[in-house]
Amino acid sequence: MSETKAKKYFDLAKKWLAKAATSSDVELLKETLRYHEWKYYVENDPVLSDYEYDQLYNQLKTIEEADPQLITPDSPTQRVASDFTQDLDPVKHLVPMLSLDNSYNDEDLKKFDEQIKKLTGETGDIEYCVEPKFDGGSIAVVYEDDQLVRAATRGNGAQGEEMTLNAKTLPSLPLNAPFSSLGIKTAEIRGEGVIRKDIFAKLNEARALEGKTLFANPRNSATGGLRMKDPNETRARGIEVFAFQLGYAVAEDGTDMLQMINRHSQQIALLGELGFKIPSDKEVVCKNIDEVITLIKQWEADRENYPYEIDGVVVKVNRRALQEICGSTQHHPRWAIAFKFKAKQATTTLVDVEYQIGKIGSITPVAKVLPVHLAGVTVSSISLHNEEFITSKDLRIGDQVVIERAGDVIPYIVKSLADLRTGDEEPIVFPKECPSCSTELVKEDEMQAAWRCINPECPAQILQRIIFHVSKAAMDIDGFGRANVERFAELGWLRDISDVYDLDYETIAGLDGFGQKSADKLQSSIEKAKQNPISKLLHSLSIHHLGKKASKLIAEHIDHVLDLANWSEEDFLSIKDIGPVVARNVSAYFAEAANVEMLQRMESLGVNLTQTEEDRPIAVADNAPLRDKTILFTGSLQKMTRGEAKKKAEAAGAKAISAVSGNLNILVVGEKAGSKLKKAEAIGTVEIWTEDQFLEILGEL
């Protein structure tokens, strides 16, 4: 496909997304949809988001429904989109693999329920089976006399590309399944090849170390992996196959054995018993469409905690007898529908790049894009992380880019659409000097991606250090957020951290938007912060690599913060778990006279620099109930905060850690526990306790 054609079909798509196509556009609309199908299914390099494609597809369907004479055999509404690459041999499916009709809201689902009742004549509740809609690559696998004899991609629905050798490398697909115990001689199962999110992250980590281009997302990695020419490369992708349908099951005498299975949910359970991977923790039977709608809302809210990418759910009439009455169109079964979650991807234009300076001088490029609505919010700024990210994504000013909201929270640029370039795009030139103070930028270690300004007097760094100092993560000064820090700095009131404790509250009370009550509240918060333990103070100073844990360890070994001005690097290294990088950085910080003077001024203004009871190491008895155990808390605790729970655990001899791994001994689970619970269950060696069990062990219940 030429660059001209790519831009043509992209521009047409955007035009019709802004203003719907008409019947006069129908042939061009079909061409546009076919191009985007090719980009999605064959190239694994979509230009449009799923939602945008679906909107165009629905426009075509509406036009054709209004004037059936416009329907042609090659219309995208009359066939399943093809994923042929012509790299593999074509093979015919035993029964067609159809697509699914889509829905996006409660009204669509209720209309679907009404249509089912109209088709079947049922007047009461319709029972539905609801399953996750995995975002991967569909395959059909044939078993003959219990042996896996053939596997193929979905292709055009009637035939796909054979990938039997590749399929045999996938551990989740049994090479032998006991269909004969059910009287079945030949069976064809339908499944979806997917890559677990954590496996995908490891794949990209390995590719980064090898200097290879990173995979855009798990879906592309899975679909591409299924069709590799080398089966060993398929296996290396970590692809798992979830079975979602027994599409064909025939006895030796030709009897259709599917007639023996009354419900789709029974079919799924049967596949699980035969050794196939099924979504047993997500597949649910609902007694009516209202239960379906409630369940979908729960799943959408929890989608990021699911270990695999799911872009929606599939709703299927559960009773097979009703499925047969409903039948199918050439495109989709009438008894099933896909509900699509809110779009996570969209396309927009990268119009500029700005550079932010962090509290330790790290330079972060930020993309400014044309505002685009995505997953419920308008996105206009996106972090580009570092220079290497820009290079790896081949980003240029003026590019059309695909953006995504990771976890429906953090905007992320997936890729640039190089096919759509006109030649007017401009390279992104990373600065050589600090945008704030013009100091030459450095990379202290070639292994690190970030460029840094190492001027401690850089105005932008000072501002960011003050913002961090007052934040909840540091001194936790309530009511003193970023906006107030920036405002006070512009007024000349904040030149370094010590100025936080020497403000004129009467003047603040007179500012627009403040008043006496707000000023008094700020003063109260600052006075409270002055009494913080010195471990918090050390962490709040933005010393490079000095985190909460190391700050606590150092605070345990000093009577006064300024004692550190007399410490050597060797003194720091004598503390267990303090490494050479932290030792070097903290020693260098306290060797600077300006830093010591700032802390002396803070003490004169009432800030505590002396070790508190909270800073002292916790004495643990030899018979402490959790001695030498590692522990982690997840979910919402009802009887204490996470911080209180952690202190209780440490007092009982446990070491609190931050992630689930093979090193974790105990996971304490509160309400709405998510991915950490699932990961701990998968490890199998982690003890899983309730909040009450934890308190009972401590003798507090």
Q: What is the pLDDT of residues 417-435, one digit of tens each?
A: 988 999 999 999 999 999 9
The residue type found at 371 is: P
Verify that 122 and 253 share a domain, yes or no.
Answer: yes
The partner residues of 161 in beta bridges, in order of sequence, read 90
Decide: helix, strand or coil at residue 635: coil
Phi–psi pair at 102, nearest 5 degrees: -115, 150
Query: Are 620 and 676 spatial neighbours (Cβ–Cβ below 8 Å)?
Result: no
Least confident of 318-322, 373-377, 469-473: 373-377
Quick one: CA dihedral 678, 683, 684, 687, positive or negative? negative
Under the banding of pLDDT at 50, 70 and 90, the label for residue 1 is: very low
Do both 275 and 233 map to the same domain?
Answer: yes
Which is the catalytic residue, given 133, 344, 536, 679?
133
The residues with which 245 forms a beta bridge, in sequence order, are: 190
Whether residues 188 and 310 fall in one domain: yes
Of 516, 546, 540, 517, residue with least CA distance to 607: 540
Instruction: Identify whether 176 is part of a domain.
Output: yes
What is the token pair recorded at 363? 């330079």
CATH number of the domain at 369, please.
Answer: 2.40.50.140
- Identify the helix (H) or strand (E) that includes residue 516: helix 516-529
Residue 681 placed within a domain: yes
Report how far apart, in Å, the C-alpha atoms of 282 and of each of 122, 295, 432, 527 are: 27, 10, 51, 51
Among residues 86, 220, 222, 234, the alpha carbon closest in space to that of 155 is found at 86
Tell me how far apart the alpha carbons of residues 465 and 484 are, in angstroms, rounded to a whole number. Answer: 14
Q: How many distinct structural domains can be found in the chain?
A: 5
Same domain, 113 and 261: yes
Q: Which residue has the higher pLDDT, 234 or 113?
A: 113
197 as an active site residue: the answer is no
Task: Read off the pTM.
Answer: 0.58
Among residues 308, 340, 372, which one ends one of the domains? 340
Q: Is residue 5 very low, low, confident or very high in pLDDT (cuts 50, 70, 90)?
A: confident
Whether residue 540 is found in the same domain as residue 396: no
* Domain annotation covers residue 657: yes
Query: What element of type H or E holds 37?
Result: helix 26-37
pLDDT (tens digit per residue) in 91-112: 898 988 888 888 888 999 999 9
- Whether residues 314 and 184 share a domain: the answer is yes
Q: What is the predicted pLDDT for the residue at 559?
A: 93
Residue 433 within any structural domain of the chain = no
CB 695, CB 622: distance < 8 Å: no
Q: How far apart are CA 569 and CA 539, in angstroms?
A: 18
The token pair at 26 is 């129908």
* Residue where a domain terminates, one of 297, 315, 340: 340
Please tell me the distance from the alpha carbon of residue 521 to that of residue 524, in angstroms, as a whole number: 5
As a dihedral over the C-alpha atoms of residue 553, residue 559, residue 560, residue 563, rounded to 10 degrees, the angle is: -80
Q: Do residues 287 and 368 both lie within one domain?
A: no
Residues in the chain, total: 701
Do 33 and 68 lie in one domain? The reply is yes
Who's near 498: CB < 8 A, 6+ residues apart?
Answer: 598, 599, 601, 602, 605
Distance of alpha carbon 101 from alpha carbon 478, whole angstroms: 50
Where residue 72 sits, what CATH number does that domain have? 1.10.287.610
Examine residue 242 and state whether it is found in any structural domain, yes or no: yes
| Residues 236 and 210: beta-carbon distance below 8 Å | no
Proportion of the chain in helix, strand, coil states, percent, rounded to 5: 40, 20, 40
The percentage of residues in the chain with a pLDDT greater than 90, rounded to a whole number, is: 55
Rounded-to-integer distance, Cα 353 and Cα 381, Å: 9
Tell me, yes or no, whether 320 and 171 share the same domain. yes
Any domain includes 540: yes
CATH number for 468:
1.10.150.20
Where residue 677 sits, what CATH number does that domain have? 3.40.50.10190
Residues 400 and 483 in one domain: no
Regarding whether 689 and 557 lie in a shared domain, the answer is no
For 493-503, the pLDDT digits (tens) are 999 999 999 99
Q: Of 324, 340, 356, which residue constitutes the final position of a domain?
A: 340
Angle between helices 106-120 and 289-301 (to 10 degrees): 150
Domain membership of residue 22 as a residue range: 3-78
Does residue 432 fall inside a structural domain? no
58 occurs within a structural domain: yes
Are 103 and 57 contained in the same domain?
no
Phi first, then psi: what are they for 344, rounded to 5°? -100, -10
**What pLDDT is recorded for position 409?**
63
